[in-house]
Amino acid sequence: MAFNYDQYIRGGKLPHIWCPGCTYGIVFKSLLRVVDTLKLNRDDIALVSGIGCASRLPGYVDFNTLHTTHGRALGFATGIKMAKPDKHVLVVSGDGDATAIGGNHFIHACRRNIDITVLVFNNYIYGMTGGQYSPTTPLGHMATTMPYGNIDPSFNIPELAKGAGASFVARGTAYHAAGLDRLIVEAIQHKGLSVVEIINACPTTHGRRNKFKSPTDQLLWMKDTFLPAVAFEKLPPEKTAGKLPMGVLYKKEGLPEYCETYYGLVERLKKQKEGRAQER
Amino acid sequence: MGKIKLLQGNEACAEGALYAGCTFFGGYPITPSTEVAEFMARRLPQIGGAFLQMEDEIAAMAAVIGGSLAGSKALTATSGPGFSLKQENMGFAMLTEIPCVIVNVMRGGPSTGVPTGPGQSDIMQCKWGTHGDHPVICLTPAYVQEIFTETVRAFNLSEKYRTPVIIAFDEIVGHMRERIEIPDPGVLPVVNRTKPTCPPSEYLPYDDSKGDVPPMANFFEGYRYHVTGLNHGTDGFPVNASPRIHTDELRLIRKVEGNKKDIVKFEEYQLADAEVAIFAYGVSGRSAKTAVEAARKEGIKAGLFRPLTIWPFPEEQVAALSKRVKAIIVPELSLGQIIFEVDRCSKGRCGIEGIYRVDGDPITPAQILAKVKEVK
Amino acid sequence: MSGRYEIRFSGSGGQGLILAGVIFAEAATIFDKKTAVQSQSYGPEARGGASKSEVIISDTAIDFPKATEIDLMLALTPEACMKYYKDIKPNGILLVDEDFVKETPEGTFKVVRLPIIRTASEEIGKAFVANIVAIGAIAALTGQVTIESVEKAVLSRVPKGTEELNKKALMAGYALAKNTEKEKAR
C-alpha cells in the first residue's frame, strides 16, 4: 500500500510555494515517512524554521510548527528544547539561513550539543529572493549578486558542523531519497545536536543560470557527484576530484548533551537541598 | 510581613520575575543589566527552571520566545546595544502574540556609549525600535521596591494581553540598593495566560471573534497549530495582501491602546494645586520629587507627574495637566525624547521646558529647582 | 534635605568600597530600621582606577539617590581624594588614610587622618580588611549607625570562616576613631 502522506499534511494548506522542478518536495515527503517510521507522537514534535523556501515547510505539516525570523530558528528551538527537554525539536533551514545570517546560532547550537535535529536544505543559492549567491554557492557560479561569477569562497556545511561540535553529521541528497530517510531516522534517534545537510536543486534561480539545462540535469549531477562515504574514502586522491561523500560523515556517541547536563545539575541541587533539610 | 532585604534594582527585578512565576531566562551579558542574568543563573536551576546564556542577544530573545511558546513565563534582560539586537525578535513576539518580558537597563549614548553610566535615551526605541506598526507596553519603575512590583505587573500584563512587555529603568536605579519587602506568595496577584477550552480541532490561535486577546495554547498540549512572523489569518497561516492584515494590525494596537485604563499607571505628587508640573520617570523622577519638596519649602507650588507606564503614553492625564498648569518641565537623561510626547499631548496649552543631561550623571534636584523658579 | 546624611567611600577599584557601602547601608536600613540608599559609580576596570560608593541615610524617604552635599567622605587613595572631595559640605569630614593620602585639599571641611590600611595589615594581619576597618571608623565618626548593627551587617556579608577576622577589623577601626576623638577632647 502506498504511504499515506495526507495523514501528516494540514488540510487545505497545499499546494506548496515551491517551484516546479524544486527538490524540496522530495525531502518533505522523506521527513513525513521518517516521522511515521519512528512512530513519533505528532503532539510531541516542534518543527521550527527561519526564513527562505525551506522554511515554509512547517506550515504544511500537522505538528507544533514555528516559522520564525531569518537565521534565528535555532535560537527559538533551543528555547523550546530547554523548556521541554522531553520533546522532539526539529529545525529546517536553508544554506543562507543556517550558515550566513544564522551562522553564529548554527555553530553555537553545535557547540552546545543540544538534542535538536537540524536539516539544512542546501540548494547553493538564495532562492526566495531571486538567486543571490549564498555561503555555499560554488566559485564561478552565476548569481544575481555575482553577475561576473562567484568569487566568494564556500562553507563546507558538514565540516563546519563537525568543527563546531555537533555530535552527528550527515549528508544526503534529494536524488538519493531512500538513503535520506535512513539518515534522518538516525539523526533524530541520535542524542545530541545532529546536522543533516541535504543537497537540493533550485532550477529557477540557480540551475538555469549555471548550465543545467533542466531540473533533471541537477538531479543527475547529484547522482554523479555524491558517493557513499565508505566508497569515497577508498578512492585514490586523483579520482576524488569533483566527487563528494554522503551518508553519516561523523558520529560520536556519549558526549554530554546540553539539556541532560543542565537538568542533571537541577537534580543535584535538589538533592543537596533535601540533604540539608534532613540535616536540620 | 514578607522578607526584608537590601537589594539592587537589578536583583529586585529578578526577584519580581520569580514571584510572578518566571521559570525561563535567556540572556547575554551586558553592562549595566548583567546582575539580572547572574541572579537568575543562581536561582533558576534551584527551582527547576531553565537558564540560558545564549551566543548573542538575538538568540537570547529567540530562546525566550521559544520558552514561552513551550509554556514557560520567560524573561530577558539587556542594555543599549543588546536592546538594539533584540528588536527583530521582539517584533516577532508582538505579531505572533507570545508573552515575554524584556528588561532594558538603560545606559548612555548611541553605540557603545557609556556602559557604566545611566541613560534614558532608549525610551523612543522602546516604542518604535522594531519595524512596522506594533503594540508596546513599557513600564518605568524608579525605586527598588517598585522594580519588584512592576516586574510582577509586567508579567501579568504580558500574560493577560499576549504581548511582550518592556521594563525600562536606568543604570542608577538598576545598580542602587534599597530596602525592599518581598511579599509572601499570594499577596500580589499573579496572572496566567488564558488557554483555549475548545477541542483542538476547533482551535483558531488568532480568533478575534470573542475579544481582542485570543486564548493561547502552549506547544505540546494537543493543540497543533502554526506560528509565523508573516501576517496571518485567524488560523495562524500566512495571508498576503488581504484586508485581514489591516484589521488584525488594528486589533494588535487596540489590545494595548484600548486597555489603557488597566495598563497606564502613574504617581501624582503635590499636583492638586501645582502651578508648575514636572513630568519625569526613573531616576529623573526621583530627582524631581526632591526638587518639588525643595520648591514647596520655598512656597513655590510645584508638583510631579511620574509615569510608571510610559507606553502606552498617559495622553489623557498629560492633556488634563496641561490645562491647569503654567508649565510642564521635562527632565530626562537624553537630549530630548519624551518631551515631544508631553508637548504633543499639551497642544500648546502650557509652556514645555526640557532639562537634558547625557554626561553620565543624573539631573540633580538643584537643576530642576532652578528651572522651576525660571518658569513659575 | 534635612535629616539626610551623605557618606561617600572612595579609593581604588578592588579595595572593597562598594561592599563597604553595602554593609553600611544594610546596618542602617535592615538592622537600625532607618531609610538608606546605596549607589556606586565605577569605570570599566574591575581593579584599579578611582572608585566610589555612596550611602545616604535618612529618617524619611530618600528620592534623589546620589550624594551632592557630603557629610563624610572616605578616601583611601590620593587619586580618589582629589577626584571626589569637591562635594563635601562645609563642616563635613574628609577621612583619609594617613599613609597613602599625605596631601589633602584645602576646604572648609574637617580632615581626619587615620592609619586605616596599616591597621588592617599590621594589627589584623590582612590588608584586604581595610574596608572593614574603615567602616568601624566611620561608624564611630558619624554616629549614624550603632556598632552592633554594623557588626551584624558585616557578619551577614563576609565569607564564612572570616567572621572573627572581620569583627576584629571592625572593632579596630572603631577604636581608632574613638581614640582620636578622645585625644582631641583632651
Task: Among B23, B42, B46, B52, pick the best mutation site for testing chain A contact (most A Cβ within 10 A).
Answer: B52
C184 pLDDT band (50/70/90 cuts)? confident
**Mean pLDDT of all residues in chain C?**
93
- B29 and B130 fall within a common domain: yes
- Average pLDDT value for residue range B260-275: 98
Q: Report the alpha-carbon distance of residue A99 to residue A105 in Å, rounded.
A: 9
Q: For B214-240, give one letter per residue: b (16+ CB within 10 A) or e.
A: bbbbbbbeebbbbbbbbbbbebbbbee
Q: Which residues of C touch B181 (CB under 8 A)?
A: none
* A109–chain B nearest CA distance, Å: 9
B and C in touch (3+ CB pairs within 8 angstroms): yes
CB contact under 8 A, A84 and B219: yes
Q: Which residues of B touch A193 (CB under 8 A)?
A: none
* C150–chain B nearest CA distance, Å: 14
Q: Which of B115, B177, B178 sits opposite C44 (nearest CB)?
A: B115
Helix (H, G, I), strand (E, B) or coil at B282: helix
- Average pLDDT value for residue range A224-248: 95
Q: Which residues of B touch C25 (CB under 8 A)?
A: 6, 177
Task: Among C9, C63, C83, pick the best mutation site for testing chain B contact (most B Cβ within 10 A).
Answer: C63
- B150 and B8 fall within a common domain: yes
| Domain's final residue, options B182, B214, B245 | B182
**Does B204 fall in a domain?**
no
CB contact under 8 A, C43 and B116: yes
| Cβ–Cβ < 8 Å for B211, B188 | no
**Does B288 fall in a domain?**
yes
- Give yes or no for residue B242 having a pLDDT over 90: no
**Does B255 fall in a domain?**
no
ipTM above 0.90, yes or no: yes
C37 interfaces chain B, CB cutoff of 8 Å: yes
- Give yes or no for residue C45 having a pLDDT over 70: no
- Average pLDDT value for residue range B14-42: 98
Ordered alpha helix ranges (H), B97-183: 123-128, 144-161, 171-175
Residue B296 has a pLDDT of 98
Q: Report the alpha-carbon distance of residue B153 to residue B99 in Å, rounded.
A: 13
**Does A143 fall in a domain?**
yes
Q: Report the alpha-carbon distance of residue B249 to residue B227 in Å, rounded.
A: 16
CB contact under 8 A, C68 and B364: yes
Ordered alpha helix ranges (H), chain B: 9-19, 34-46, 57-69, 80-96, 123-128, 144-161, 171-175, 243-257, 260-263, 282-297, 315-324, 339-346, 365-375
Task: Among B40, B55, B203, pick the best mutation site for testing chain A contact (most A Cβ within 10 A).
Answer: B55
- Residue in the block written with cell 508596546: B136
Q: Per the omega criterion (within 30 degrees of 0), is the bond before A15 cis?
A: yes
**Does A264 fall in a domain?**
no
- Give yes or no for residue B235 having a pLDDT over 90: yes
CB contact under 8 A, A67 and B230: yes
Fill in the DSSP letter of residue B300: -
- Average pLDDT value for residue range B220-237: 97
Instruction: Give the neighbours of chain B: at least 3 Cβ pairs within 8 Å.
Output: A, C
| Segment A200-212, tens digit of pLDDT | 999 999 999 999 9
Nearest CA in chain B to A59: B226
C29 interfaces chain B, CB cutoff of 8 Å: yes
Residue A28 has a pLDDT of 98
A190 interfaces chain B, CB cutoff of 8 Å: no
**Does A275 fall in a domain?**
no
Q: Which of residues 132-151 of C touch B (CB under 8 A)?
A: none
C162 interfaces chain B, CB cutoff of 8 Å: no
- Give yes or no for residue C24 having a pLDDT over 60: yes
Q: Report the alpha-carbon distance of residue B145 to residue B12 in Å, rounded.
A: 7
CB contact under 8 A, C38 and B176: yes
Fill in the DSSP letter of residue B364: P
Q: CA angle at residue B95 from B18 to B21, to 5 degrees?
A: 10
- Give yes or no for residue B88 having a pLDDT over 90: yes
| Segment B51-75, tens digit of pLDDT | 999 999 999 999 999 999 999 999 9
CB contact under 8 A, C36 and B178: yes
The range of the structural domain enclosing residue C59 comes to 4-185
**Does B222 fall in a domain?**
no
**Does B235 fall in a domain?**
no
Q: Which residues of B touch A91 (CB under 8 A)?
A: none
> Residue C176 is which amino acid?
L
C46 pLDDT band (50/70/90 cuts)? low
- B167 and B42 fall within a common domain: yes
Q: DSSP characters for B214-267?
A: ---PPTTSS---EEESS-B-TTS-B--S-HHHHHHHHHHHHHHHTTHHHH--EE
Q: Which of A42, A59, A75 sits opposite B228 (nearest CB)?
A: A59
Q: Which residues of C touch B169 (CB under 8 A)?
A: none
Quick one: cell of B23? 521559570
Q: In chain B, how many domains are there? A: 2
Q: Which residues of B touch A13 (CB under 8 A)?
A: 237
* B290–chain A nearest CA distance, Å: 44
**Does B369 fall in a domain?**
yes
% of chain A exceeding 70 in pLDDT: 100
CB contact under 8 A, A83 and B50: yes
CB contact under 8 A, C63 and B289: yes
A266 interfaces chain B, CB cutoff of 8 Å: yes
Query: C173: domain CATH number?
Result: 3.40.920.10
- Give yes or no for residue B268 having a pLDDT over 70: yes
**Does B87 fall in a domain?**
yes
- Average pLDDT value for residue range A193-199: 98
Query: B295: domain CATH number?
Result: 3.40.50.920
- B177 and B278 fall within a common domain: no
**Does B41 fall in a domain?**
yes
% of chain B exceeding 70 in pLDDT: 100
Stretch among A220-224, B192-196, B242-246 having the lowest mean pLDDT: B242-246
Instruction: Give the neighbours of chain A: at least 3 Cβ pairs within 8 Å.
Output: B
- Give yes or no for residue A253 having a pLDDT over 90: yes
- Give yes or no for residue C58 having a pLDDT over 60: yes
- Expressed in percent and rounded to 5, the helix, strand and coil fractions of chain A are 45, 20, 40
Q: Which residues of A touch B43 (CB under 8 A)?
A: none
Closest CA to A185 of A39, A2, A7: A39
Residue B52 has a pLDDT of 98
Residues for chain A: how many in total?
A: 280
The range of the structural domain enclosing residue B56 comes to 3-182
Residue C181 has a pLDDT of 78
CB contact under 8 A, B362 and C66: yes
- Average pLDDT value for residue range B109-133: 96
Q: In chain A, how many domains are there? A: 1
> Residue B271 is which amino acid?
L
C43 interfaces chain B, CB cutoff of 8 Å: yes
| Cβ–Cβ < 8 Å for B78, B90 | no
* A72–chain B nearest CA distance, Å: 7
Sheet of strand A226-228: strand arrangement: A226-228, A244-251, A168-173, A194-199, A117-122, A88-94, A45-49, A64-67, B226-228
**Does A280 fall in a domain?**
no
Q: In chain C, how many domains are there? A: 1
CB contact under 8 A, B226 and A74: no
- Give yes or no for residue C47 having a pLDDT over 80: no
Distances (CA, A) of A129 to A52, A237, C146: 8, 38, 71
Q: Is the pTM of this model over 0.95?
A: yes
C183 pLDDT band (50/70/90 cuts)? confident
- Residue in the block written with cell 553545535: A110
Nearest CA in chain C to B288: C64
| Segment B327-346, tens digit of pLDDT | 999 999 999 999 999 999 99
Closest CA to B121 of B131, B130, B111, B134: B111
Residue A279 has a pLDDT of 78
Q: Report the alpha-carbon distance of residue B139 to residue B151 in Å, rounded.
A: 9
The range of the structural domain enclosing residue A101 comes to 5-254
SS (H, E, C) A208-255: HHCCCCCHHHHHHHHHHHEEEHHHHHHCCHHHCCCCEEEEEEEECCCC
Residues whose CB falls within 8 Å of the CB of residue A39, separated by 6 or more in sequence, listed in order: none
Distances (CA, A) of B87 to A55, B45, B107, C167: 21, 28, 17, 50
| Segment A59-108, tens digit of pLDDT | 999 999 999 999 999 999 999 999 999 999 999 999 999 999 999 999 99
| Segment C73-132, tens digit of pLDDT | 999 999 999 999 999 999 999 999 999 999 999 999 999 999 999 999 999 999 999 999
Query: A197: domain CATH number?
Result: 3.40.50.970
Strand partners, B112: none
| Domain's final residue, options B182, B197, B232 | B182
Task: Among B8, B170, B176, B283, pick the best mutation site for testing chain C contact (most C Cβ within 10 A).
Answer: B176
Residues for chain C: how many in total?
A: 186
| Domain's final residue, options B159, B182, B205 | B182
Q: Where are the beta strands (DSSP E) in C86-172?
A: 88-97, 110-114
Residue C43 has a pLDDT of 65
C2 pLDDT band (50/70/90 cuts)? low
- Expressed in percent and rounded to 5, the helix, strand and coil fractions of chain C are 45, 25, 30
Q: CA angle at residue B336 from B332 to B341, to 5 degrees?
A: 95
Task: Among B143, B179, B181, pick the best mutation site for testing chain C contact (most C Cβ within 10 A).
Answer: B179
A and C in touch (3+ CB pairs within 8 angstroms): no
Q: How much is the CA Rg of chain C, to the nearest whole Å?
A: 15
Residue C1 has a pLDDT of 43
What number of other Cβ atoms are within 10 A of residue A228's Cβ? Answer: 14
Residue C49 has a pLDDT of 81
CB contact under 8 A, B286 and C64: yes
**Does A260 fall in a domain?**
no
Between C17-26 and C147-157, two packed helices, what is the crossing angle to 10 degrees? 120
